[in-house]
Amino acid sequence: MGLLDGKVAIVTGSGGGIGREHALALAAEGASVLVNDLGGARDGSGEGHAMADQVAEEIRAAGGEAAPNYDNVATVEGGQAILQGALDAFGKVDILVNNAGILRDKTFAKMDEALWDAVIAVHLKGTYCVTRPVFLHMKERGEGGSIISTSSTSGLEGNFGQSNYGAAKAGIAGFTRCLALEGQKGGIRVNAIAPVAFTRMTSDLMGAPEMEKTMAPNLISPLIVFLASDLSKDVTKTTFFVGGGKISEMRMTRTEGVTKTDEGGLWTPEEIAARLPEILA
């Protein structure tokens, strides 16, 4: 008996890296998995079938159920085709993991429109393009569902040279918090993860060779299995940090603040400056 017997999952960008581990882990718990991957390079250039085919084959060889899919998450047609691929192969979708991603790092001074648009398209618009048809399908089916999207500390805490990627990743966290409220009525849970792992995306940034083991991408996936399963039936609207064996919650907090009551609540800039330590406390 697996935790996800009878469930169907879509994992975008699961032809390699963290997504591949998600697909293997979900399948090992009994889920049928649509292995989506455009099959391009780290910067999003190129495409091919080999990556998705290989992971789907790996799952089948281990006795699981999988089908490959090569559509692009960054277009509305691609998102629709990804849902259709899962429906054609398995008849329904219970779990969506938005994981596909690319990198085009540059300092903001060199961040031209093409670098900005490419990264926003795959991460932020891609999350919209795949989630919308799947969300509508889940609502229509009326059996709930679990949607897990991939944010990043780069957006939630900030990272030098990643204004495009950070904007997209913080957007995904905001998207998650809003959609979670809309999903509640239909039992559709919506959560996000901010992972850290040694993959082709980060190998040159992480450097130290031992990190290949200590920050291995398979360390991320148990959280995905948990969030996909009924073990997390009360968990929604939450963003988790996960990596290297550590799991924690990433919170957007509002400080206690200071309320001015005289003058109808109208602050002067000088008053704000004087009370800034209390406002930020």
Q: Measure the CA angle with vertex 73, ends 125 and 117; round to 5°.
A: 45
Under the binding rule (CB under 6 A), the answer on residue 124 touching ligand NAD is: no
What backbone phi and psi angles, to 5 degrees, belong to 2? -105, 160
Nearest approach, Cβ of residue 179 and ligand NAD (Å): 17
Which H helix or E strand runs over 134?
A: helix 126-141
Judge whether 165 counts as a catalytic residue: yes
> Considering only residues 42-71, where is the footprint of ligand NAD by CB under 6 A?
42, 44, 51
Among residues 115, 167, 201, 258, which is the contact residue for ligand NAD, using CB under 6 A?
A: 201
Binds ligand NAD by CB under 6 A, chosen from 9, 31, 100, 173: 100
**CB 159 to ligand NAD: min, Å:** 9
Per-residue CA distances from 170 to 10, 162, 167, 222 (Å): 22, 12, 5, 23
Of 233, 242, 222, 232, nearest to 151 by C-alpha is: 242
Please give the angle made by the CA atoms of 242, 240 and 216, to the nearest 5 degrees.
Answer: 15
- Stretches 15-23, 84-92, 109-117, 273-281: which one binds ligand NAD (CB under 6 A)? 15-23
Active site residues: 165
- Residues that bind ligand NAD in the complex, under the rule CB under 6 A: 12-13, 15-19, 36-40, 42, 44, 51, 72-74, 99-102, 122, 126, 150, 152, 195-197, 199-202, 217
